[in-house]
Structure 1
Amino acid sequence: MRRFRRTRSPGNTAIAAVTVCALCAGAVLLRDGRADSPPQPSAAQAHSETDAHGPARSSVPALPPSPPDRVRIPAIDVDAPLTGLGLTGTGSLDVPPNDRPDLAGWYEAGTTPGERGTAIIAGHVDNADGPAVFYSLGALDKGSTVEVARRDGTVAVFTVDAVEAYDARDFPDAKVYGATDRPELRVITCGAGYSPATGYRGNVVVYAHLTGTR
């Protein structure tokens, strides 16, 4: 998947999406006449006015900070360990290693999942051997749950508000990474179509907010 560069905005540390290096090996899935490609979200899964202003805007109280250890998305059979992601020497957010398709990462200099604000989890859609941890992310529906097991023993349970795909040229930085007044989560991978010449054209982004803990 693509790397992300960190910038600052008032009251919040944001990460601006930049195409530094495409780390998704989608060509592997398209060789030899194979038509395999990761699912992409439909228009029905995008944000709507009802989503923005209706009952779904409520959430449970924020949790104290605690690093996450695992992410589970039952609807698409994801149950993956998490590694902390820092910044590279060029100021972009690092990504999980290509040879660990089962591994996802979280931006450890930012909000921890369950804490008030916007937490970021990112992972590959595929690698040179085939599908990776977030291959099916684009198939997720509104209302699905994302569970994050935290090091303090709690599990933060998020409900999906929307799933959207963006071309890299039109990536909405403020919408994806901007400050929020409640605990929210973004789960990100590559997507938005594939070009043999340039790789994946953009990203799939899952928007979710905290609705439970255990």
Structure 2
Amino acid sequence: MDRTTLRSRAWLVGIAALCGVWLVQNGAATRTVAPQPSTAEAFAAGPELRPGSPVAGPLRASEPVRIRIPGIRVDAPMTGLGLGAGGSLDVPAAEDRNLAGWFRNGTPPGAKGTAIVAGHVDNAEGPSVFYALGSLEKGARVEIDRRDGRTAVFSVDAVEVYDNEDFPDRRVYGDSPHAALRLITCGGGFSPQTGYQGNVVAYAHLTGVR
């Protein structure tokens, strides 16, 4: 296992904290598990841009401040996420249900490379910012407002769900020659004892700038 994979596995330790709190505390039998992506929204083969979708040139780095995903009614502020103990990725404050986080030591959304944005699926009070991420469809629009006054507009290429044991580190976290975006929350199988057993990942690329 190389250093990149080790780092990615450590990040998953942090991302696991995004999962299933509301369902575990209140009983899965009486609650609705978050939407999961259908096979129609997965990549047809390997990771690739959606055919016919434009590709915009990357922007200079600038801090993201807000994310909007009209298709699933997300409109949320953003906060920077660092690395915690053992190299695990920090997660947004669980008590704020409408907050997304981006990995501030990596690529900012809109710049060249792969930007990572994570959000809780729920908290103790109910669904959180990325609860409906698994219902996104190919071609869905993601808008991220940046500190420089520009809005980076992304188009979703695929939405996939992975068990923790089969998480494709390089596919999700690997570098990109264009401005790429990964949106991550918890999903997959659900256990009333431990919550979700995997992750939903939406893949997108920059298609425009406002």
Distance 1:203 1:48 in 2: 19
Is the counterpart of residue 27 in structure 1 residue 21 in structure 2? Answer: no
Structure with the largest fraction of strand:
1
What secondary structure does 1:202 align onto? Answer: strand
- What secondary structure does 2:143 align onto? strand
Q: SS at the partner of 2:161? A: strand
Does residue 112 in structure 1 map to residue 108 in structure 2? yes
Q: Decide whether the 8 Å contact of 1:28 with 1:130 is kept in 2.
A: no
Name the SS for the 1:84 alignment partner: strand
1:84-103 alignment, distance < 5 Å: 84-103=80-99
Identity %: 53
Aligned to 1:189: 185
Number of aligned positions between the proteins: 203
Contact 1:28–1:129 under 8 Å retained in 2: no
* TM-score relative to the length of structure 2: 0.90
Deviations 1:42-98 (A, max 9, x none): 000000149737634751111000000000000000000000000112211100111
Q: 1:180 aligns with which of 148, 171, 176?
A: 176
Whole-angstrom distance in 2 between the partners of 1:23 and 1:140: 18
Q: Counterparts in 2 of 1:40-189, with a 5 A limit?
A: 40-49=36-45, 52=48, 55-56=51-52, 58-189=54-185
Structure 1 alignment gaps of length 5 or more: 1-6
8 A contact 1:19–1:168 mirrored in 2: no
CA distance in 1, matches of 2:18, 2:70: 25
Residues 24, 194 of structure 2: 8 Å contact kept: no
Structure 2 residue 15 is matched with structure 1 residue 18:
no
Asked if structure 2 preserves the Cα contact closer than 8 Å seen for 1:98 and 1:127, the reply is: yes
CA contact (8 A) 2:63 2:108 kept: yes
- Structure 2 unmatched runs, 5+: none
